[in-house]
Amino acid sequence: MTHMRPATTTTTPDVTAIRDVGIIGAGQMGTGIAQVFAQAGFNVHLLDMAEDRLSAAMGTITKGLGRLAEKGKISESDKWDALARIRVGVAYDLLADCDLVIEAASENEQVKRAIFAQLCPVLKPEAHIASNTSSISITRLGASTDRPTKFMGMHFMNPVPVMQLVELIRGIATDETAFALVREVVLKLGKSPVSSEDFPAFIVNRVLLPMINEAVYTLYEGVGSVESIDTALRLGANHPMGPLQLADFIGLDTCLAIMQVLHEGLADSKYRPCPLLVKYVEAGWLGRKTGRGFYDYAGPAPVPTR
């Protein structure tokens, strides 16, 4: 029987120990994470292997901060100060002075392990590492680094600048001091941390992704159309968007990857990915980011594809 970790009484760690934060991956998640750290006063080092993704990320962050300034949520000088705190690059030595590095690459364990193999040799010994993985074992990822005691999960929600929650996940080796320090960092960002044990997909995706997968089965079995399923959940369960619309927003490849982690990690047939989800991913119909998923995004308004 698995027992929850007992609460421990510790002094509040000194969050000023974290000044420079590295982010690996300038995709949708990494870009959002970079923006919220820069806004909160941290020096940000954003790494990606592709120069064009870094340019796109800076464009997105500039627009995001610009919208906040227009709405009066930050001042124009706050916007420029935040942008000035972001450095970008394609070489790992960009992260040499970082106190905390957050990996935000694609949801693929081998990709993440390869990143940590390149990251660890350039990091200073006292630096902490976190993964933004939405489902993969933190214990296993931490064991692939040279500092499992300073490694943990830090799962932001999408879109990062808007969503308040950050799931914090300890690996079996994660030191309580490291966990408490990262929790204080999350609070400094103005976000709300919740602690999860290290089980496949943690809390949010353990509950959310099977719902999305069941919605895809409902479509696959002809119980309802894309439009009827999404309308039913929006109006019948008061969800802000339907599950198939949400799947397109998350990315169908990410949805499939998380369902595969659940299915393999828990060995329960209830987590079997729907064959229709597999087919869409095989077709390259990954949702909004490719212009087609359960909806076609080519026109002025999304059109259901089934």
Two tokens, residue 124? 């200073």
**CA 154/CA 29 separation, integer angstroms:** 12
Single out the catalytic residue among 43, 135, 196, 205: 205
**CA 268/CA 177 separation, integer angstroms:** 35
Nearest to 68 by CA among 33, 158, 186, 77: 77
Nearest to 209 by CA among 272, 155, 267, 156: 272
CA atoms within 13 A on the CB side of 138: 31
Q: Assess whether 75 carries a catalytic annotation.
A: no
**CA 306/CA 299 separation, integer angstroms:** 16
Two tokens, residue 78? 């706050």
Single out the catalytic residue among 43, 131, 132, 134: 134
Centroid of chain to Cα 56: 18
Two tokens, residue 1? 């029987």
Q: What does the buried/exposed string (b/e) look like for 118-135 if buried means 16 or more CB atoms within 10 Å of the residue's CB?
A: ebbebbeeebbbbbbbbb
Longest Cα–Cα distance in the chain: 56
Q: Assess whether 134 carries a catalytic annotation.
A: yes
Look up residue 292 and give its DSSP letter.
Answer: B
Peptide bond connecting 304 to the previous residue in cis, omega within 30 degrees of 0? no
Centroid of chain to Cα 19: 21
Single out the catalytic residue among 45, 137, 167, 213: 167
Q: List 20's β-bridge partners, or say none.
A: 43
Centroid of chain to Cα 296: 24
| Residue matched to tokens 């902490």 | 128
Single out the catalytic residue among 131, 135, 155, 213: 155
Which positions are catalytic? 134, 155, 167, 205
